Amino acid sequence: YRNKSTHKMTSVFTITLKPILMLCKCLGIINISYNFGSNGLLVRNTNSTYYSFFEFTKTVLLVMFTYNIHTKVVFPDYIILYKFWVVIITSKISETWIIKLINGIIEYDQKLTSLPTYLKAQQRQFSKHYWNKIFICTSLYYIVFTFMYLYLWPIKIMDITFIILYFIRLSFIVDFTVIVSSYFYLQNVEYRFETLNDLWKCHTPDPDGLLSIPSECSQYDVAMMMDNIRILHAELSYILRIFSQGYGQMLLGFFVFAYIDISVYIFYSLFYKFSTSTSEDHRTLKKILKESIPLILNLQSIIFVLSIIIAASRVNDKRRQIISYLRLTKISNLSTAIKIQVKMFMNQISVFESDEITAYGIFNINLNLVISVSMHNNTIFIILLIYGLATMIQMKEHSIIIQAINTTKVMWLLTT
């Protein structure tokens, strides 16, 4: 029996995935040779040399642009270049896992259609309009912020360096691509865990400790239903592990550079002023906007970090939710086949109880810790930030810091 709502979920996932893939291909996270095959999965076109030549040419041009930009910018802008290449390199290392993640979600939806028709639960899915709103709002923010930046600090020397860094705003594009793609996959996994929870709740225990079974279903049918849900839950848990392998290293790089960005912007805004405005506009809106730019950038980085942390904690919560349903089941009154399925389910969940996102053992995000961090006003992040600022304040008279500040001031005056 084919479940039409599940087929719709697959269609929505594929449709909403296309702009994500386009962003990832443009940035270089995914090879442009990957396209959807006849089976609905992403496959790599190995028959044409065009894609290989294009990727090689793109890499050479990126290296040339990076070298050209690196010789013309100062310390704060180095962070943008380093972050860009960290994302590119880690994505190339994890590209196979990212493709497995996408195909794993598609194959999971295809397997979900094999469930019997009496297992009718509302398939959790988000509307295409939801992601359209995200892209529209983000595009408006990008355009408004870019023009505001150019208005406040008009560029006197217009070349490829300042077009990429200040007009195209490479840093924002890198951050947005990594965050929106990570959030997209995490939310899709979360909705599928929630769908399994809904399927299980359709057969919750009644007061006598028995499963509420449809009249046309035998005990064998119920045991098969539980076995199907158990297998699907295991596959989703494995998909979550694939996400960990595919995006763990990229998120490591992103979190590190987000922390550096926030620390540097706060340090500069507190102790150094790069405003070139005259005394006439010291109290004007323009002056206020100039001093607000670092705060806006800090808020942007914090929102990006928290969006991934909260999304990861929500996935973990939905994955563990079915445990509470299993514990409510009084297996003493159930048939032997159903008892076996409940016990197998509990053993399986303990095996997948990793509770972390990892980067090949280099980096772990403990999801239980994530929940506590999000519930206690991000105390750990604030402590790290204060510690970093304290270190920078202690080093503000160091010759390296003074040289970086003076070089930044000179470059700022020459270009604005």
| Arithmetic mean of pLDDT, 4-32 | 77
Report which residue type is found at 193: F
What is the residue type of 231?
A: I
Cα pseudo-dihedral 220, 225, 227, 233, rounded to 10: -170
Overall average pLDDT of the 163-172 stretch: 73
Tens-digit pLDDT profile for residues 232-285 = 888 888 898 899 888 888 888 888 888 887 777 777 666 665 554 444 445 577
Q: Is 402 in contact with 75 (CB distance < 8 Å)? A: no
Alpha carbon separation from 184 to 241, 249, 308, 314, 372 (Å, rounded): 16, 17, 10, 13, 23
C-alpha span between 59 and 73 (Å, rounded): 21
Residue closest to 202 by CA, chosen among 314, 127, 126, 117: 117
Q: Chain-wide mean pLDDT for the chain?
A: 73
Residue 295 has pLDDT above 90, yes or no: no
Task: Give per-residue pLDDT as tens, 340-382.
Answer: 777 777 776 665 555 455 444 434 455 444 444 333 434 555 5
Whether residue 119 has pLDDT greater than 70 = no
Report whether 171 contacts 83 (CB < 8 A).
yes
Residue 217 has pLDDT above 50, yes or no: yes
Q: Tokens 């960290």 — which residue?
A: 86
Residues above pLDDT 70, as percent of the chain: 60
Tokens of 182: 């990570």
What is the tens place of the pLDDT at every residue in 182-203?
999 999 999 888 888 887 776 5
> How many domains are there within the chain?
1
Say whether pLDDT at 403 is over 50.
yes
Confirm if 325 and 211 have CB atoms less than 8 A apart.
no
Q: Are 197 and 101 in contact (CB under 8 A)?
A: no
Angle, nearest 10°, between helix axes 75-93 and 50-70? 160
Structure tokens at 259: 């922390």
Closest CA to 262 of 181, 179, 175: 175
- CA gap 147, 43 in Å, rounded: 40
Q: Identify the DSSP state of 29.
A: S
In terms of DSSP bridges, do strands 356-358 and 34-36 run parallel, antiparallel, or are they unpaired? unpaired
Radius of gyration, CA atoms only, the chain: 26
| Strands 356-358 and 364-366, bridge-based pairing | antiparallel
Task: Yes or no: say if 373 and 381 are a contact pair by the CB < 8 Å rule.
Answer: yes
CA 319 to chain centroid: 18
The C-alpha atoms of residue 48 and residue 341 are separated, in whole angstroms, by 49
Spatial contact of 295 and 171, defined as CB atoms under 8 Å apart: no
Structure tokens at 241: 């592990």
pLDDT band at 97 (very low <50, low <70, confident <90, very high): very high
What are the DSSP calls for 99-138, one per residue?
HHHHHHHHHHHHHHTTS-TT---PPP---HHHHHHHHHHH
Position with higher pLDDT, 77 vs 120: 77
Range of the domain at 286: 4-415
Written as one string, the DSSP assignment of 300-352 is HHHHHHHHHHHHHHHHHHHHHHHHHHHHH--GGGS-HHHHHHHHHHHHHHHHT
CA 365 to chain centre: 13
